[in-house]
Amino acid sequence: MKYLKYRTRGQLRRSTLRMAFIFICLLSIANSKSNAQDIEPRRWTPLPLGSHVISAGYAYTQGELIFDPLLQVEDATVSINIIGLAYLRPFKLGNKLARLDVLIPLSTARWEGLLAGVSTTVKRNGFADPRIRLSVNLIGAQAMGLKEMQEYISSHPVNTTVGVSIAATLPLGQYFEEKLLNLGQNQFILRPQIGMVHKWKSWSYELTGSVFLYTNNNNFSDGSSKKKDPVFAIQTHLIRRFKKSMWVSLSAGYGLGGQSIVNKQPNDDNRGDILGALSFGFPIMKRQAIKITYLRSQTLKDIGSDTNSFTLAWSAILVN
């Protein structure tokens, strides 16, 4: 009897750890600035030297969480509010155009559902993990000032830009070892990325591929160790530009991978998500603009999340 009792507790703990990790994955997916499942049209648009871009945005995500039936989680939902502040600055790297951008997100999250038939609610408020990213355009507009950039765009109505980047998500967000659900992930996330944009007349087509690499979290739930396999992601955008700097984008994305391993025990929880998004941007003042985005994310696996997200962002370009 003692052996059976011990075994049952061990099985329950493994199930609880597995459930917690899936929750964390779902939180990361909902945060479109720190996960493979982001949608970012006009990602590789060149900016003139001497400019600074500041932005602030609000995102709301709500949806259904889908779990393995063995975890005894039913009717699970998540709602997340995110306020993000970002800064971007282009600079010259050799003769190439490069840029550095920083994102700081503040989040509130609420999970609800039935766990083994018991109604359960979890709330978190605080900073999520910030991100810093370095990008370099290898093909396309070289590093140049505003006037030269305008002349280049005017003389090249059809052009192609190819760029690469490396982003690092830093484990500085709110994290409590004794808690199963956290806003921060307590691990570095490195994201190599390559992408291209081809422009012709009033149209643009973008394609970007990414790989997410995760360091270990050695303080996952009471000192447990958690690893995560790489996540591979791709996103594409078709953009139509209009007069007066207005534009609209139709986007799609796909992410695959990310199996978790807790205490050397694989959880067989690879993700497979498909995304669709519609974005609209328009100016409100000279060198200030608003972007509105609707994003739908749907899992193709037996576990995952089906969510809807709405984003409102303001940005301003300051040129020296």
How large is the average pLDDT for residues 68-79?
73
Q: What pLDDT, in 10s, does the model give residues 4-28?
A: 333 344 444 444 444 444 444 444 4
* pTM score of the predicted model: 0.85
Rg over CA atoms, the chain? 21
3-state secondary structure of 18: helix
Confidence band of 144 (pLDDT split at 50, 70, 90): very high
CA–CA distances in Å: residue 82 to residues 30, 85, 134, 240 = 10, 10, 23, 28
Q: E-assigned strands of 94-174?
A: 96-115, 118-127, 131-139, 158-169
- pLDDT at position 215 is 95
- Give the Cα separation of 191 and 169 in Å (integer): 8
pLDDT in tens, 151-193: 998 899 999 999 999 999 999 999 988 777 788 989 999 999 9
Which pLDDT does position 23 carry in this prediction? 47
User: How confident is the model at residue 2, as a pLDDT?
Assistant: 31
Where do the domains of the chain lie, and which CATH numbers do they carry?
A: 2-319 (2.40.128.130)
